[in-house]
Structure formats: C-alpha cells, structure tokens
Amino acid sequence: MAKHYVMLADTVRCINCKACVVACRAEWETPMGISRDWVKEVEFVKDGQPKVMLFPGRCQHCDDAPCIEACPSGAAYKREDGVVLQDDCICSGCELCVPACPYEARWLNPETNTITKCTYCQPRIDEGLEPACVTTCVGHALIFGDINDPESKVSRLLKEKEWVKLTTDEVNIGPNHYYLMAAGESLPDEVMPKLHDRHLSGKVMENVVNPVGAIGVGGMVLAFLGAGVIKLMGRRDKVCAENKEDK
Amino acid sequence: MSNTGTTQMLHVREKKIIRLHWFNAICWLTLILSGLGIISGDFVRIAPVFWPEFMQGLFGGNHNLVLAHAIVGIAWVIVFALFILANFTSVVFPFLKKVLVLTPMAAIRDTKSMVINLLQLFGLMKDTPIPPQGRYNGAQRLLGTMIIFCSLLIAATGLYLFFAPMVFAFSENALYGSIFRWALVAHSASVFLVLIGLVAHIYFALIEEPECLEAMKSGEISVDFIKHHNALWYEELKQSGKV
C-alpha cells in the first residue's frame, strides 16, 4: 500500500519551547519574522484557575486541499503520499491560495516572491528522515509517520489514544494532522479552521467568467450545429423537389 | 479584376493579409489548446481536468507549457505589432475605419442586421430584408470590433501574467498581485468572448459562405457575391470603376 504521511501533536507534552519553530526556520532559512510552523497558546480560566493550552501547528496537508483548487498554475499539488507541496518554479506569487487555506498556513515569501508553506520537510522524508520539527521536539510532542503502515508509531498511537482533527461543520477538508488533548478538554475556537473571504477576482473567475463563458461557447456551438442541421434538411428537401421535377 | 469562366472575379485581398489571417488562426489554435492546459486549480480551471493533465504531461510540466504558450503569444504580439507599424496607413487604418463600431447608432444598426441574419439561419424572419451592407456586414463589424478590443486586452494581460512575476517583487506591493489576479480574469473573459464569436465566424466560413473561405485563400471573390451580400460595397466599386 502507498505511504500516507500524517503528523500527530500531543498538546499535553508540548511545553512551548519553540524548538520546532527554530528547527523549521533553520532547515528552510525562512525570512525574519516568518515561520512555516508555530505554537498557538490559548489561555482560559477553568474552575477559577488560569490555564494554557498549546497547539503546535503547520499546514495540515488536507485531503481536499482548497489551496490546490485555488492555484491557477498548478504550483500547489498533492503527492501520492498525502504531502501537499508547492512548486517554486511555476508559482507566480498571485496569492489566490493564501485566503483559501482555513489554517492560515501559506504566505508570500518576501525573498523568493513565491508561496511558502510546510512540506513535512519533503526532502528529509524522501531520504527516510523525520521532519526537522519532529527531530527537534524536546517533549516528543510531535510524531510523524506513515498511517498506512500498521506497525508505525503513528498507527499505534492513533489506535491507543483518542486523537482529534481540527475540523468544524463548516470546514472539514480531511486534514492529515491529529491532536491529543488532556482528558476532559475540548478544542478551543481559537485553533479551529475558519473560512476566509477569498479574493474577489478568484470568485469572479469561478462563479461568473467560467460558467458564463462555458455556457456561451457551448450555446453557440449547439445553436450553429442546429443551424447546420436545418441547412442540411433544407438542401435535402430542395434536392428531392428537383428530382421530382426532373421525373 | 479577372474572369474565370462566366463568373467575374475581383481581387479584394492582398497576400500579406491572407498570410496574417492564417498566422493568426494557427496562433489562436495553439494558444487556446495550451492556455486551457495551463489553468489547473478546480476553482479557476476552464477545461475538464483531463486536459491540463494531458497537456502538462505532454510538455513535461506546466512550467514548459507556460513557456510554450508565452513564446507563441509573444510571437503573435510581435508579428501583429510589426504588421501594424508597417501597414498602418495603407491597410490597418482603412480597415479600422470600415470595421470599428464606435457609436450607439452604428451598434444598433449592426446588431439589427446581425439578428435578422442569424434568425434567418433558423428559418425565422425569412421575408425581412437585411439592410444593404458595406464591405463588412453588421455581424462582421461587431465581431471585428470585439476581437480588436479583446485582442488588445489579451495581449496586455498575457504579457503581464508572464513577465510580472519576473519583473516585480509581489511581496513589496500588494497591487502587483492584485493586478495579476484581475489580469487572469480579464485574459480568460476576453478569450471566451472571442471564442463565442469564432464559433459563428467558422460556421459561416465553412457552411454558409464557403466562397468567403476561398477568398481567404486566393484573395479573389466573385462580383455576384459582392452584389448579393454587400450592396453598398458593390456601389462603391461600381463608382470607382472596379466592376
């Protein structure tokens, strides 16, 4: 069976040391102030006690990734192993994909002027290594592997404990990133995916130009096919009439 | 002027215009086939999904397909630009004067004759006479005007789509990316408009008036044809002593 990579984040083990962020930035040499991964802190009060929850985050490598659907050049694509990648050679940096991502995992790299995102450290995993963030995670809060391998650590952990995905009724696009919560805790709204208003130009293309254009061209083809048939029938009638006259 | 059998033929089109027409047709065919293969994402894709997959596979990736599309597109722009520069007063300006529909009255008049013409294809308004037409009839003038403006927009937006990511740093000014996204919309919309017109153009050339197709190969058309379809032009030709 083909590999299918997933990431697990144990929010109980995460200590917000940001080693994952440092490792990612070192691995990918991201520009100042920008990182492909992050740790989101959510503070709240429970039973009169202040608490904090920690959510290591990155691209969720969704099965139905809307970034791929929004990309006009095919620069965003998904590999057979489930990893969503970005081809710098063809990316124009138009940012149509940026608001399409409900996890806010894409941004325009000011150095390359192309879109950058987490790739699960694709070159590393292709060599059989783990992503840089997983290797560096001091609390072993991040676990990465092949979900299709029943012997893998991720498969075993997914069977042993109750992991959740960051999905809502509104946004359920098959993320390949799982989270483990402390017993009795629920997912806070702050980390849930949200639909962003897509660029108007993209919506005009999808909802106006393409359907109207397709109907227009299709309608014209059908109409003129009809005209051709009418002309053929007219010619047949004319020939029949001429034949009758000849007889 | 020449005589072929009993039909008097008139030379109405120079070889360079015929060559430019067929160069344009080949470019359009190539650009449409490649262009439909470039736009990939489901939200913005125009062709069914198999076409981008086939074309990108054929060219060894979308990067090569974009490059091929751009090379043909730039060649199309350069050839037209050079032709316009070299023939502006002799060919282009007189052509524009005859074809462009720029006033509301002209648009209404041409639309009326086009509608009658089209409805007659379907057996309607058979008895309604079409007003006498000049060298270009109403439908040709409307189509020509649309194609001229759409072509200018296609050329400008196409050049921006190809060169802007190389020339401008999109991260420095949000306007660059915004123009890029709207250029993509304008590029696609203009191509759709031209395609809608091209369906009629090709139908008339192949089915209704094959003599016009012959004229786009030989440059000659029969005087009878002009007399029947382009009465005002026939009068002009008569007055100038060409027929």
Please write the tens of the pLDDT for every residue from B25-51. Answer: 999 999 999 999 999 999 999 999 999
- Which of A92, A217, A228 shows the shortest C-beta gap to B180? A92
Cβ–Cβ under 8 Å, residues A77 and A87: yes
Q: How far is B69 from chain A (nearest CA, A)?
A: 13
Question: For the residues B121-148, what does the mean pLDDT come to?
Answer: 90
Which chain B residues have a beta carbon less than 8 Å from that of A96?
41, 43-44, 181
- B215 and chain A in contact, CB less than 8 A: no
Could you tell me the two tokens for A169?
A: 């009724």
Could you tell me the two tokens for A105?
A: 């995992």
Range with lowest mean pLDDT among A137-146, B4-13, B76-85? B4-13
- Does the beta-carbon distance from A113 to B185 stay under 8 Å? no
Question: For the residues A156-167, what does the mean pLDDT come to?
Answer: 96
Question: For the residues B173-188, what does the mean pLDDT come to?
Answer: 97
Could you tell me the two tokens for A182?
A: 């402390």
Instruction: Determine how many CB atoms are found less than 10 A away from the CB of residue B81.
Output: 11
- B124 and chain A in contact, CB less than 8 A: no
- Total CB pairs under 8 A between chain A and B: 133
Cβ–Cβ under 8 Å, residues B190 and B161: no
- Which of B43, B52, B193 shows the shortest C-beta gap to A70? B43
pLDDT at A73 exceeding the cut of 90: yes
The alpha carbon of residue B89 and the mean position of all alpha carbons in its chain are separated, in whole angstroms, by: 21
Could you tell me the two tokens for A238?
A: 């004319």
Determine what percent of chain B is predicted with pLDDT higher than 70: 98
- Cα A95 to Cα A106: distance, rounded to the nearest angstrom: 9
- Which of A93, A205, A216 shows the shortest C-beta gap to B165? A93
- Does the beta-carbon distance from B207 to A227 stay under 8 Å? yes
Q: How far is A85 from chain B (nearest CA, A)?
A: 14
Range with lowest mean pLDDT among A131-135, A142-146, A185-189, B152-156? A185-189
Report the pLDDT value the prediction gives residue B1, as an integer from 0 to 100. Answer: 44
- B151 and chain A in contact, CB less than 8 A: no
Determine what percent of chain A is predicted with pLDDT higher than 90: 90
Q: At what angle do helices B15-38 and B50-58 cross, to 10 degrees?
A: 110
Which chain B residues have a beta carbon less than 8 Å from that of A199?
181
- Cα B9 to Cα B191: distance, rounded to the nearest angstrom: 36
ipTM: 0.90
pLDDT confidence band for B126 (50 / 70 / 90)? confident
pLDDT confidence band for A1 (50 / 70 / 90)? confident
pLDDT confidence band for A184 (50 / 70 / 90)? confident
Could you tell me the two tokens for A237?
A: 């009638």
User: Which of A201, A225, A235 has the most B C-beta neighbours within 10 Å, making it the best mutation to test the interface with B?
Assistant: A201
Report the pLDDT value the prediction gives residue A84, as an integer from 0 to 100. Answer: 98
Of A1 and B237, the structure prediction assigns the larger pLDDT to: B237
Residue B212 main-chain phi, psi, to 5 deg: -65, -35
Cβ–Cβ under 8 Å, residues A175 and A64: no
Cβ–Cβ under 8 Å, residues A67 and A87: no
Question: For the residues A53-61, what does the mean pLDDT come to?
Answer: 97
Residue A10 DSSP SS3: strand
Determine what percent of chain A is predicted with pLDDT higher than 70: 100
**What rounded mean pLDDT belongs to chain A?**
95
- Cα A243 to Cα A236: distance, rounded to the nearest angstrom: 11
The continuous run of DSSP H or E covering A39 comes out as strand A38-46
Range with lowest mean pLDDT among A95-109, A167-181, A231-245, B165-179? A231-245
Report the pLDDT value the prediction gives residue A243, as an integer from 0 to 100. Answer: 87
- Which of A87, A201, A220 shows the shortest C-beta gap to B185? A201
Say which residues have a Cβ less than 8 Å from residue B22's Cβ, sequence separation at least 6.
B216
pLDDT confidence band for B184 (50 / 70 / 90)? very high
- Cα A113 to Cα B99: distance, rounded to the nearest angstrom: 44
Place of tokens 């806070």: A188
pLDDT confidence band for B157 (50 / 70 / 90)? very high
**What rounded mean pLDDT belongs to chain B?**
93
Instruction: Determine how many CB atoms are found less than 10 A away from the CB of residue B30.
Output: 17
pLDDT confidence band for B127 (50 / 70 / 90)? confident
Gap between the terminal Cα atoms of chain A: 76
- Does the beta-carbon distance from B63 to A230 stay under 8 Å? no
- Cα B77 to Cα B81: distance, rounded to the nearest angstrom: 6
pLDDT at B2 exceeding the cut of 50: no
Question: For the residues A127-137, what does the mean pLDDT come to?
Answer: 97
Report the pLDDT value the prediction gives residue B37, as an integer from 0 to 100. Answer: 97
- Indicate the pairing of strand B220-222 with strand B7-11: antiparallel
Report the pLDDT value the prediction gives residue B3, as an integer from 0 to 100. Answer: 45
| Amino acid in position A126 | D
- Does the beta-carbon distance from B62 to A224 stay under 8 Å? no
CA angle B196, B201, B205 (to 5 degrees): 155
Report the pLDDT value the prediction gives residue B6, as an integer from 0 to 100. Answer: 60
Question: For the residues B110-125, what does the mean pLDDT come to?
Answer: 90
- Does the beta-carbon distance from B161 to A92 stay under 8 Å? yes
- Cα B124 to Cα A207: distance, rounded to the nearest angstrom: 34
- Partners of A76 in the β-ladder: A86
Report the pLDDT value the prediction gives residue B105, as an integer from 0 to 100. Answer: 92
Report the pLDDT value the prediction gives residue A27, as an integer from 0 to 100. Answer: 97
Say which residues have a Cβ less than 8 Å from residue A59's Cβ, sequence separation at least 6.
A36, A84, A101, A103, A105, A106, A117, A118, A119, A120
The continuous run of DSSP H or E covering A213 comes out as helix A210-246
Q: What is the pTM of this model?
A: 0.90
Question: For the residues A80-89, what does the mean pLDDT come to?
Answer: 96
Task: Name the residue in chain A with its Cα closest to that of B53.
Answer: A74
Question: For the residues A66-81, what does the mean pLDDT come to?
Answer: 96
- Which of B61, B63, B181 shows the shortest C-beta gap to A201? B181
Residue A197 main-chain phi, psi, to 5 deg: -70, 115
- Which of B122, B165, B188 shows the shortest C-beta gap to A92? B165
- B219 and chain A in contact, CB less than 8 A: no
DSSP structural state of residue A148 = T
- B41 and chain A in contact, CB less than 8 A: yes
Which chain B residues have a beta carbon less than 8 Å from that of A210?
44-46, 188
What is the SS3 string spanning chain B? CEEECCEEEEECCCHHHHHHHHHHHHHHHHHHHHHHHHCCCCCCCCCCCHHHHHHHHHCCCHHHHHHHHHHHHHHHHHHHHHHHHHHHHHHHHHHHHHHCCCCHHHHHHHHHHHHHHHHHHCCCCCCCCCCCCCCCCHHHHHHHHHHHHHHHHHHHHHHHHHHHHHHCCCCCCHHHHHHHHHHHHHHHHHHHHHHHHHHHHHHHHHHHCHHHHHHHHHCEEEHHHHHHHCHHHHHHHHHCCCC
Say which residues have a Cβ less than 8 Å from residue B15's Cβ, sequence separation at least 6.
B219
Could you tell me the two tokens for B212?
A: 């016009």
Q: How far is A93 from chain B (nearest CA, A)?
A: 7
Determine what percent of chain B is predicted with pLDDT higher than 90: 83
Could you tell me the two tokens for A42?
A: 């959510």
